[in-house]
Structure 1
Amino acid sequence: MFTLRHCLLLASLMFVGVSSANTVKLANGEWAPYQSKSLKNGGFISQLVQEAFEAEGYQVEYTYMPWKRGFEESKAGKLDGSLIWSKNPEREQFFHYSDPVITLSTSLFQRKDKPVTWRAREDLSAFKVGGVTGYAYGIEDLEKDGTIKIQRISSAENNYKKLAAGRLDIVLEDTDVGLETINKLNLTGKLEPNDKTLTARDYFVIISKKSPRAQELVDAFNRGLMKLKEQGKLDKYREASIRGEYKQ
């Protein structure tokens, strides 16, 4: 005979089963200002991805780990997937890609009173260009052959100070990172990104082909993402991030 206790236990087990089935386990990584354990809501991209799944009835469980480990554990099916990644042939062997979450670009930051004019990458050889040691900007081939000289230093913030002082003509930087940095340094009245971006690349949520719900999760995420973008959430969160509102 079933007692009230048995009924409650059965209901609890059923709830756990449903809850588990609706949980998406994703590897997350450190890439401020987009995603980071130290940022409010994990950064605006983490928030966007979570809310896109939630819009379709799924709950997201993030596990923060080094990028390589997150990739390998997702690839093996230990996690459903990871965020956010660009496309390449190797990854496409093991993962399904969502619709593009965001397009990220490398900008040429310049002084507002001294904008630069350029058409091709080679034109940058005429300018004093600042960058950060170890960073890739998509023109390393021209740097290697000596066509462009990038004055690389360890501190990104110091590059903007040098630009504001007229010691550089251009600072190469991820657009959102640069905008956040000049806002932090109170240089928005002096510095800006050039209208023409240097490079642009789409980034995606990747879902492991070993996940038994792979296509289901991709389809659900794409539907939720479309809803959020139509509501203007991506632009809203991105602008808030640039203003520094995700810093804790």
Structure 2
Amino acid sequence: MSPKRLTLLIFLLLPLWVTAQEPKTLTLVATDLPPFYAESLDSFGPVAVLVQEALQRRGYQVELKFYPFIRATALIKAGKADAIIGLWYRTERENWAYYSRPLQGTEIAFLARKQDRIGYQQLSELKDKRIGISRGYANPAAIAGSKLHTEEADSDETNLRKLQLGRVDLIVISRNVAQYLIAHGPAEYQGQFEFVGEPLAKEVFHLGVSKTRAGSLQLLEDFNLAIQSMEEDGSMATILSPLSTSLN
């Protein structure tokens, strides 16, 4: 091939090569859930940092947007977002999302005001209590299948405020989230609350990949491979280490 023709061939193929080398951009969604991830946290929080680092290792760029949970899942179902950060496993969610390897766990428990001195052995003993739950979240099976009196609120912050004001007797909340909200809340929160009873559930965060998007299984495989490598090289534990203190 003559030098002139070779130059022409390179000129024609260069745009294709550049396009192939450009990072793939993903749209991820999440719901504010500090200290795990939230729009207000540095770098959007440890779990968000972990997810973005894993995807970047596999050649993806990430655009992360925060929405209420119901809106975020609607975008995933419609294929208008590629994946959701922090999806807890429920069988019915397999209809619209692939679950990644586990990312981080948290215990779900009852929180009460100390002054109310609430104790119980069986959930049935709480039938006269008003229990705050968060709208759109996957509540523990023990709560979902009970006949307890539950009241929905739009967020954990709202539920905590209602508890502090005595408008509910207990709230269902992640231990980590409760400890974060209390520590960063108003002065009157300090020393006022306690966890009651044994944990209701242990939930695990996953990346939920939209089944509607093209190449969803490839994205899932890429992400899982990156997470596995980060588990092995210790970087996953380092990124998530700020969360360990809130479990104490």
- The aligned length equals 232
**Conserved 8 A contact 1:207-1:214:** yes
Gaps of 5+ in 2: none
Q: Secondary structure at the match of 2:102?
A: coil
From 190, 200, 203, the equivalent of 1:201 is 203
Residue 89 of structure 1, CA deviation: 4.2
Change in Cα spacing, 1:106 to 1:129, as seen in structure 2 (3 Å) is: farther
Matched, 1:18 2:41: no
Q: How does 1:1-248 map to 2 (within 5 A)?
A: 1=4, 14-20=17-23, 23-33=24-34, 34-64=36-66, 67-68=69-70, 70-109=72-111, 118-125=120-127, 131=132, 137-138=139-140, 139=143, 142=146, 145=147, 148=148, 155-159=158-162, 161=164, 170-185=170-185, 191-194=193-196, 196-229=198-231, 231=234, 232-233=237-238, 235-239=240-244
Gaps of 5+ in 1: 244-248
Residue 179 of structure 1, CA deviation: 0.8
Q: Secondary structure at the match of 1:198?
A: strand
Counterpart code for 2:30:
G
Residue 207 of structure 1, CA deviation: 2.1
**Conserved 8 A contact 1:105-1:201:** yes
Q: Secondary structure at the match of 2:53?
A: helix
Residue 211 of structure 1, CA deviation: 4.0
Q: Secondary structure at the match of 1:49?
A: helix
Q: Secondary structure at the match of 1:215?
A: helix
Report the aligned-residue RMSD: 4.4
**Conserved 8 A contact 2:32-2:39:** no
Supply the distance in 1 between the matched residues of 2:21 and 2:44 (Cα, whole angstroms): 26
**Conserved 8 A contact 1:26-1:83:** no
Supply the distance in 1 between the matched residues of 2:102 and 2:83 (Cα, whole angstroms): 15
Residue 200 of structure 1, CA deviation: 3.0
% identical aligned pairs: 21
Counterpart code for 2:179:
L
Supply the distance in 1 between the matched residues of 2:68 and 2:114 (Cα, whole angstroms): 38
Counterpart code for 1:176:
N
Change in Cα spacing, 1:225 to 1:38, as seen in structure 2 (3 Å) is: same
Query: Who is 1:246 aligned against?
Result: none
Give me the TM-score of the superposition, normalised by structure 2.
Answer: 0.66
Q: Secondary structure at the match of 1:60?
A: strand
Q: Secondary structure at the match of 1:99?
A: coil
Change in Cα spacing, 1:168 to 1:60, as seen in structure 2 (3 Å) is: closer
**Conserved 8 A contact 2:113-2:193:** yes
**Conserved 8 A contact 2:37-2:44:** yes
Counterpart code for 1:40:
D
